[in-house]
Structure 1
């Protein structure tokens, strides 16, 4: 009988521990009900780039991440963002060549871009940049590109990062 009571006590404690762990994870899990708003004023920078960029590359310091998951927004979307406002908006006018968007950060990040045509584009890791994402638009249309830098590994804390817009590919 003492062995049965001991086994029951161990199982009961284990059940309480698992329940507490599940409750803690649920409380800290990111919220994913809010879609990002591409029409909102950006947190860090609104810029217009025409023809050949005067400032190239254009670096933008951001804090990546947020409470809202972008999984399911489009193909290859991962990570979390603050959906109320993009990190940056870039208005492209008469750009003739490719435009590169990439991020440098100390932890895994992803890019989420809303195009003027209303399309969502996402990318995570890049071949040369490792956990840093990079996206090239070979023939970008004129208009506003709303950009979020998503935190992939650390949804519960902001990640310092640099978003870069350039006519040249990233040099890692």
Structure 2
């Protein structure tokens, strides 16, 4: 399912080593999606509920906010440069398990919204957290811009 996304400001992703990893083997809360370079419309988006009961800081590095145990979305990406980000009226964070098994986290790339740039194809398991706890409506997006 593809929907229109807002364009994110390109930023560098910051890797963290997960001492205690989230369970990316669980079924995603809001579905699994496949995208290929040149997808339309661009950006593509999914409305989700961000947050959860797990403190993302346990993953180490720059991870922050509260996330769920299962990923919010699983993305199968067939390659090329893309940005994963989230928009919300609340302060949100982003946690991504990349195809190489590395964990990446971001907070406040675009105001209070997170975004990260990736350049490899494969499976991305994505969590959108809430910085101050609880849950919030959010839009997770992917763009090639």
With structure 2 as the length reference, what TM-score do the two structures score?
0.81
Within the alignment, does 1:36 sit opposite 2:22 as a pair? Answer: yes
Following superposition, the deviation at residue 143 of structure 1 comes to: 1.4
**Is the contact made by 1:74 and 1:122 (CA closer than 8 Å) also made in structure 2?**
no
Paired with 1:130 and 1:54, the residues of 2 have a C-alpha distance of: 26
Q: Which runs of 5 or more structure 2 residues have no equivalent in the other structure?
A: 1-19
From 50, 67, 76, give the equivalent of 1:81: 67
Within the alignment, does 1:100 sit opposite 2:83 as a pair? Answer: yes
Within the alignment, does 1:109 sit opposite 2:88 as a pair? Answer: no
Following superposition, the deviation at residue 112 of structure 1 comes to: 0.2
From 89, 113, 123, give the equivalent of 1:144: 123
**Is the contact made by 1:103 and 1:164 (CA closer than 8 Å) also made in structure 2?**
yes
- CA distance 1:68–1:55, change in 2 (3 Å): same
Paired with 2:66 and 2:139, the residues of 1 have a C-alpha distance of: 16
Matched length: 126
Within the alignment, does 1:134 sit opposite 2:120 as a pair? Answer: no
Q: Name the structure, 1 or 2, with higher relative contact order (CA <8 Å, separation 6+).
A: 2
Following superposition, the deviation at residue 54 of structure 1 comes to: 3.0
- The residue that corresponds to 1:15 in the other structure is none
Structure 1 moving runs of 4+ over 4 Å: none
Taking only aligned residues, the RMSD between alpha carbons, in angstroms, comes to 1.4
Paired with 1:72 and 1:41, the residues of 2 have a C-alpha distance of: 21
Q: Rg bigger for which structure?
A: 1
Q: Which runs of 5 or more structure 1 residues have no equivalent in the other structure?
A: 1-33
